[in-house]
Amino acid sequence: MTREAVVEIHSLVAGYGRHQVLHKLDLTVCRGEALGIAGDNGTGKTTLFKVILGLIAPMEGDVSVQGQMLDTPRVRRLIRCQIGYVPQLHTPGKMPVSVHDAVLMGRWSKGFGFFKRPVIQDRQKVSEILQEIGLSHKEWRPVHLLSGGEQQKVSIGRALVREASILLLDEPSTYLDHASQAEIIELIRTVHLKHHLTLIMISHDPEHLEAISDRILLLKNGRLEER
């Protein structure tokens, strides 16, 4: 049985200004698949994610997500709401934002927005996700007081609370200690299976990619190839 393709990229050329980073890149990701992407720094892995998220438009080629061509700013904005994104760990600053409110921001444009306040269903969904990722006991604690591993769980929770079917993870275990890395990778594997997500993960760690991925591709010279 043929599996449905949810991300299709053909002959993609993308970059910044006149600088091309991706060159005639092709990629097909099927529903429910866990794809790992390896590659050295500066090879264009994050640029590829920005194209899928609709943050930058292709210079050439076709990009389709969930059966919709990303050929207009409007479509790119709509598709972005259907994707969960987990970036590298970053310092959250000193603002006293609670774990609950940090995860709740994942509902922005999904459950609430500029002229619509969060409702009880939004907050209930946050509590459900915090239970799932093991942070219920710290729901009202300021994020900046959490450990690095816990902060990255907050990022995963913020992506999951969107109820998106596609999850992009950009080096999610970088800058964590070994124990926290193992915990994050196991959490990603668990939520992928539980929610039947289509998952694309970038990592420089081959063991982490192998632990999660159905297949692994290498991004090299602006193109993807079998690893």
pLDDT tens-digit series, residues 165-181: 999 999 999 889 999 99
Q: Answer for the pair 153, 143: CB distance below 8 angstroms, yes or no.
A: no
Q: Rounded CA gap, 165 and 79, in Å?
A: 11
Identify whether residues 143 and 95 lie together within a single domain: yes
108 domain-assigned: yes
Residue 209: other Cβ atoms inside 10 A: 22
Two tokens at 51?
């194209």
Identify whether residues 68 and 135 lie together within a single domain: no
- Predicted confidence at residue 217, as pLDDT, reads 97
Write the pLDDT tens digit of every residue in 26-40: 999 999 999 999 998
In this model, does residue 130 exceed pLDDT 60? Answer: yes
- Enter the pTM of the model: 0.92
Identify whether residues 34 and 136 lie together within a single domain: no
- Predicted confidence at residue 3, as pLDDT, reads 81
- CATH number of 22's domain: 3.40.50.300
Domain that holds residue 117: 90-163
Identify whether residues 138 and 76 lie together within a single domain: no
